[in-house]
Amino acid sequence: MNRVLPVLTVIGVIVVLWYAAAVWMNRTWVYDQAARDGATVSFAEMVPATLNQERPVLPTPHQVVTELVKSTFGMKVTSKKSLVYHGWVTLSATLLGFAIGTGAGILLAVGIIHNRAMDLSVMPWAIASQTIPILAIAPMIIVVLNSIGVQGLVPKAIISAYLSFFPVVVGMVKGLRSPDAMQLDLLKTYNATGGEVFGKLRLPSSMPYLFASLKVGIAASLVGAIVGELPTGAVAGLGARLLSGSYYGQTVQIWAALFAAALVAAALVAIVGVIEGRVLKRMGMAR
C-alpha cells in the first residue's frame, strides 16, 4: 500500500510536465496565428489557446483521453473510426501468433532437452537470435505472403509468432533443466520412466520460467502485430491508425492509438500475471 502514493506522485509529475511541454511546443502556432491577424497575445491568452488545438504538435493529456474515450465508446464497434474495431484486428493477430509461437517454442524446448545433438546445434542460434533485430523481416513476410495469396490475419500472426517463439524456447529450456541432480536421482530410484520424469518433475518445475517468458513473449507479439500492419498501407489495426495518423498529421489520433496499444499491452501482461499467480498458487510454488 505504501507504493500507491509514490506512484501517484510520479504520474502526477509526468502529467504536469506533459502540460508544460504541450504549452511550450504548441505556442509557436498560436503566436504565428496572432501575427497573421496583426494582433498580439499575452502569455495568459496564449496558454489556453495551446490546450485544445485541432492539430497540436503535442496533444494535451485531456485531448488524448477524450479522443480515446470517444473512439472507444462513442462509435459503433464495426465503424472504421472505432478503436475497438482496430484494437480487435491487432489483438486477434497477436493472440493467434502468440498461441502458435508459444506452442512451437515449448515443443522445440522439449526436443532440445531430450536430444543432445539438437541442444548443441539449435540452442546457440536461439540465444543469438535474441541479439538480432528480427523485427526487420516483418515487411518482407507481409509482402511475400501477400504475393502468394495469403493476406489478412495470418501474415501478422506469423510475425507475432516468431517474435514470441525465441523467448519461450530459451525460457522453457532453462525451466525444464531447473530440477537439480538430486531430484532427478530420486526419480531414478523410484524407477520412473522418461515420460514420468518429464510430467511429474520437469514440467511442473518449469512453470515459473514459462510464465516469465510468456510475459515477454506476449508483449513482443503485440509489437510484431502492430509493426506487421505498417507495410500493407494502413488498412486496419492499431498500427494502421498510427501510420494513417502520421500521413495526415492527426496527432491526437496517433496518441489515442498509442494509448490504446499501451492499454492492450498492459492488459495482456496483467492477464498472464493473474494466470501465473493462480497456477503457481495451486502448485504450491507461490512466493
Name the residues that contact another protein, by CB under 8 A: 2-3, 5-11, 14, 57, 116-117, 119-125, 128, 130-133, 135-137, 139-140, 143-144, 147-148, 215, 219, 222-223, 226-227, 230-231, 238-239, 242-243, 245-246, 249, 251, 254-255, 257-258, 261-262, 265-266, 269
Residue 193 phi, psi dihedral angles, 5° rounding = -80, 170
C-alpha–C-alpha distance, residues 168 and 112, integer Å: 13
How many CB atoms lie under 10 A from the CB of residue 114? 13
From residue 28, how far is each of 34, 44, 97 by CA, in Å? 10, 15, 45
Name which of 267 and 283 has its Cβ closer to another protein.
Answer: 267
Q: Which is nearer to another protein, 164 or 251 (CB)?
A: 251
Question: Of the two residues 201 and 218, which places its CB atom closer to another protein in the complex?
Answer: 218
Q: Where are the alpha helices (DSSP H) in the chain?
A: 4-36, 43-51, 61-73, 83-114, 116-128, 138-147, 153-176, 181-189, 194-197, 203-228, 238-247, 251-282
In the bound complex, what is the minimum distance in angstroms from residue 65's beta carbon to another protein?
A: 17
CB of 72 to another protein, least distance (A): 17
How near is the Cβ of 95 to another protein at its closest, in Å?
15
Rg, the chain, Cα only:
25
Report the residue number, 40 or 131, with the smaller CB distance to another protein: 131
Minimum gap (Å) between residue 14 Cβ and another protein: 8
Place of cell 524446448: 109
Cα dihedral 63/68/69/71 (nearest 10): 120
7/44 with CB nearer another protein: 7
Chain centre to alpha carbon of residue 146:
24
Q: Is the CB of 41 or the CB of 230 nearer to another protein? A: 230
State how far the Cα of 153 lies from the Cα of 120, in Å rounded to an integer: 35
Q: Which three cell numbers stand for residue 50?
A: 495551446
Residue 135 or 187: the one with the smaller Cβ distance to another protein is 135
Q: What's the min distance (Å) between Cβ of 243 and another protein?
A: 7
> Which H, E and C letters describe 16-60, residue by residue?
HHHHHHHHHHHHHHHHHHHHHCCCCCCHHHHHHHHHCCCCCCCCC
Q: Grid coordinates representing 178?
A: 531447473
* Shortest spacing between CB 241 and another protein, in angstroms: 10
Quote the least distance from Cβ 38 to another protein, whole Å.
29
- Burial bucket for residue 132 (CB in 10 Å: 0-12, 13-18, 19+): exposed
Nearer to another protein, 230 or 280 (CB): 230
CB of 116 to another protein, least distance (A): 5
